[in-house]
Structure 1
């Protein structure tokens, strides 16, 4: 599996020490959108991941285990699936606002 935009988000912005840099995970996502041209690919990658991996355990293994994400969605009441979809939508909206400036 190759998900470069998702990998950059998890390994560059939502690492284990993300709370040292951001007040919350959404601030990290917003910084990612503002800073990374590749962010526009993320919604499609999220859709592909969610369509391909149909279990929470499998998604956790990919996002936390393989990609090294330091954010745990359940700490904010999300499942891995609902969080990934919410991130994809936030990135999509953020990229749309950015392109209209």
Structure 2
């Protein structure tokens, strides 16, 4: 009886995990180029305008998708005082402590 109940429990767990999450559908924004041609009454002038729009690639929740190069912008901050060997600010100095309080 215990073996039968444990088998049913394992089967129920297995079925529930297969339907736990549905894959998210990802749609990527592409550049849209729109060309319009307008003519005047006499037909002498033709004006062509091109409009390009770019959209940042974002996840479904609206945060930028960091797998793409245009979303990876690295911010470099200048350290006010002396630094350690790894390039971070050495907090033993007054200049670095003051800069940390401002930020």
Bigger relative CO (Cα 8 Å, ≥ 6 apart): 1
Which has the larger helix fraction?
Answer: 1
Q: Taking structure 2 as the reference length, what is the TM-score of the superposition?
A: 0.20
Q: Taking structure 1 as the reference length, what is the TM-score of the superposition?
A: 0.20
Which has the larger strand fraction?
Answer: 2
Bigger radius of gyration: 2
